């Protein structure tokens, strides 16, 4: 499934959800499970886009996950957990959105405001993910990097109505780089006008 196909599925499942919230669902779906296609073993065919735990109408599967190991950060601790299993992609998408809307409103609000750089912290603070490093800031930074990479990949192709392609909150350095040519032009004009004034 490519990004455009995933966007079509999300629109069909969530026709009344605002566009940035649909994009949030898609980014999480891509990050957590490759649109439900990244599972192995019992998770294959589960249509679980958000790595959502528990069961869905009695359906679940067992999967091995990892949590941080404070004694050895390079070797996370493996543990088994029950994850929800859905009859189809639309059910998995709707359940992911329901979870985000109910339990992670700060992340939804950040996405709706176009503040994609804050989505990862909001999800972490509310307990959506842990990461595998004992330092929370490392986990948040890793998640933010992947979130912004996915935004830049998905948005232009699947959500062209949203601009700019690089979210304003993504990178202060990127903003500086993008404004640098205009600063040079403005400086050159200012120097030219000053020179004319001093010659007359």
Residue spans per domain, the chain = 3-169, 172-200
Asked whether 151 and 25 are in contact (CB, 8 A), the reply is: no
Q: Among 47-51, 103-107, 181-185, which is the least confidently predicted range?
A: 181-185
Element spanning 80, H or E = strand 77-84
Q: What is the pTM of this model?
A: 0.77
Q: Among 16-20, 92-96, 110-114, 183-187, which is the least confidently predicted range?
A: 183-187
Name the β-bridge partners of 59: 56
Secondary structure class of 161 (helix, strand, coil): coil
> Is pLDDT of 82 > 60?
yes
Q: How many residues does the chain have?
A: 200
Percentage above 70 pLDDT, the chain: 81
Asked whether 48 and 91 are in contact (CB, 8 A), the reply is: no
Q: How confident is the model at residue 186 (pLDDT cuts 50, 70, 90)?
A: very low
């Amino acid at each position: 499934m490519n990004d455009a196909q995933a966007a079509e599925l999300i629109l069909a499942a969530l026709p009344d959800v605002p566009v940035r919230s649909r994009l949030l669902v898609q980014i999480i779906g891509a990050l957590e499970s490759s649109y439900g296609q990244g599972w192995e073993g019992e998770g294959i065919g589960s249509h679980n886009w958000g790595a959502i735990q528990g069961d869905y109408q009695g359906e679940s599967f067992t999967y091995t996950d990892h949590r941080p190991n404070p004694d050895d950060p390079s070797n996370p601790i493996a543990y088994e957990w029950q994850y929800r299993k859905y009859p189809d992609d639309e059910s998995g998408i709707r359940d992911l959105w329901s979870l985000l809307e109910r339990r992670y409103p700060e992340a939804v609000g950040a996405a709706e405001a176009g503040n994609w750089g804050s989505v990862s912290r909001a999800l972490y603070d509310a307990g959506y993910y842990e990461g595998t490093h004992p330092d929370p800031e490392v986990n948040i930074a890793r998640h933010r990097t992947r979130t912004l990479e996915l935004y830049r990949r998905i948005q232009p192709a699947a959500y062209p109505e949203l601009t700019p392609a690089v979210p304003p909150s993504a990178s202060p350095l990127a903003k500086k780089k993008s404004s640098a040519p205009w600063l040079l032009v403005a400086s050159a004009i200012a120097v030219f006008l000053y020179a004319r004034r001093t010659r007359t």
